């Protein structure tokens, strides 16, 4: 999709500074987003050259946020705005013990279930085509 190059991550998710982990949007549509992030020593849970895989939960949530934010922009003629979401972890399976600094992580968050202002996203994060984590989150937006 051509518009991805013009999208600013900051226009789709509220995260800034150290908490904005995503660097690149690979693709996005109404049902799925794919992002790239590179682990660095400024990330949360950094210790001794690596980051805890718990951070993969945040990568899935931010990637889901890109999907949600993009959809809202499409529905609102690319105007900024929107409300925040409450996020819950339904399931998190980690296949690695740590995320080494400089590892490039590709994360895919895909809508599994959607009803009104509630959705479930299935997320997968990979490092060098090895599945690092599988995370399912639920998101709810209060009216």
Predicted local distance difference test score (pLDDT) of residue 73: 79
27: tokens are 């693709």
135: tokens are 């995370």
Angle ∠(87,69,82) on CA atoms, nearest 5:
80
| Burial of residue 108, with CB atoms counted within 10 A of its CB: 0-12 exposed, 13-18 middle, 19 or more buried | buried
Q: Is 142 helix (H, G, I), strand (E, B) or coil?
A: coil
82 sits in the region (left: phi over 0; alpha: psi -120 to 50; else beta) called left
Please check whether residue 21 is in contact with residue 63, taking contact to mean a CB–CB distance below 8 angstroms: no
Predicted local distance difference test score (pLDDT) of residue 27: 94
CA–CA separation, 85 and 71 (whole Å): 14
CA–CA separation, 56 and 45 (whole Å): 11
pLDDT in tens, the chain (143 residues): 334 555 676 666 666 667 789 999 999 999 999 999 999 999 999 999 999 999 999 999 999 988 888 888 777 765 655 566 788 999 999 999 999 999 999 999 999 999 988 999 999 999 999 999 999 999 998 76
Domains and CATH numbers, the chain: 2-140 (3.10.129.10)
């Amino acid at each position: 999709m051509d518009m991805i190059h013009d999208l600013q991550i900051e226009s789709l998710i509220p995260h800034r500074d150290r908490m904005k982990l995503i660097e690149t949007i690979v693709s996005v549509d109404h049902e799925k987003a794919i992002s790239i992030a590179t682990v660095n020593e400024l990330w949360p849970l950094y210790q001794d050259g690596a980051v805890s895989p718990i951070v993969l939960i945040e990568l899935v949530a931010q990637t889901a946020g890109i999907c949600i934010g993009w959809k809202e922009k499409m529905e609102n003629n690319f105007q900024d705005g929107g409300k925040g979401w409450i996020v819950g972890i339904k399931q998190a399976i980690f296949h690695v013990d740590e995320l080494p600094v400089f590892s490039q992580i590709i994360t895919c968050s895909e809508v599994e279930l959607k009803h009104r202002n509630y959705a479930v996203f299935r997320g997968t994060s990979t490092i060098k085509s090895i599945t690092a984590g599988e995370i399912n989150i639920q998101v709810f937006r209060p009216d």
